[in-house]
Amino acid sequence: MKLSEIKAGQTVRIEKLEASTLKSRLMSMGMIKGTKVKVLQSAPFGDPMAVSVRSYVLSLRLADAENIQVSSITE
C-alpha cells in the first residue's frame, strides 16, 4: 500500500521508496526502509499531509507520498 492511502492516526513501516526526483532527499531526512511513520493529519483536500518521522514532523505532497510503499504494523 502507499503512504498516500494511510489515514490520520495510523502508524506504518516504510518498505520501499520508488524512483522519483525527491528520493535521495527523502532518504537523507530519514525516510528509509524499516522506519516507522505516523500520519498526523491531512489538509482539507488531503494535500499536503503531515507525518511524524523519527523525531520531527514532515509535510508531504500526495504526489510524493504515492512513491512511498508502506506496510501496516501489527502490535
Please write down the HEC assignment for all residues of 10-74: CEEEEEEECCCCCHHHHHHCCCCCCCEEEEEEECCCCCCEEEEECCEEEEECHHHHCCEEEEECC
Question: Which grid coordinates belong to 11?
Answer: 502508524
Tell me how far the alpha carbon of residue 64 is from its chain's centroid: 9
CATH number at residue 24: 2.30.30.90
| 0.75 exceeded by pTM | yes
Question: Which grid coordinates belong to 19?
Answer: 524512483
pLDDT tens string 22-34? 899 989 888 999 9
Q: Answer for the pair 37, 11: CB distance below 8 angstroms, yes or no.
A: yes
- Count of domains observed in the chain: 1
The domain of 29 spans 3-72
Model confidence at 42, pLDDT cuts 50, 70, 90, reads confident
